[in-house]
Amino acid sequence: MNFLLRALSTLAFLAPMGPLMAQEQAQTGLPRTTLSAGFHQLEVQIASTPAQQATGLMHRAEMPQHEGMLFIFPEAKQQCFWMKNTLIPLTAAFVADDGTVVNLQDMQPHSTQSHCSAKPVRFVLEVNQGWFKQKGLKAGLRLAGPPFKTGG
């Protein structure tokens, strides 16, 4: 009987750790789409729910150079990002509804410094730091892909 009580108390202690442990893992299996930046293609995961956005690219040891994550918010507003629990250096591209990159912000791993959009946006694209620079791409560039409004 003592053994059973000890086992149950151990399980009761460990049960709350299940969700905590899950949160400390990189999220996978998000929907994907392809974006283009001029001649360059990016395969991006889409983070569209508050839970997906809160986790973002946290806990990933690496990300292929041709990949990223696109955060889609319900309305345009100033978006601010930080890098707590994020292991790789990233660049955040703050993107208008038509796909125009409003501004770029380089972000360092584990930093709690806020990096914000220069104006209200609904989209934020995170890629490996240096991806835009290596390709000679700057703010003002227009990304193309299914999430962005085209034409008038």
Count of domains in the chain? 1
Query: Is 21 a member of any domain?
Result: no
Q: pLDDT for 95-106, tens place per residue? A: 999 999 999 999
Q: Which residues contact 88 (CB under 8 A, 6 or more apart)?
A: 57, 60, 61, 62, 63, 109, 128, 129
The first and second tokens of residue 131, run together, are 């991806």
Q: Is 150 exposed, middle or buried (0-12, 13-18, 19+ CB in 10 A)?
A: exposed
CATH of the domain at 88: 2.60.120.1140
- Locus of tokens 């038509």: 98
Give the range of the structural domain holding residue 72, as residue numbers without chain letter: 27-134
Q: pLDDT for 104-118, tens place per residue? A: 999 999 999 999 999
Query: Is 139 a member of any domain?
Result: no
Asked whether the beta carbons of 103 and 94 are under 8 A apart, the reply is yes
Query: Is 147 a member of any domain?
Result: no
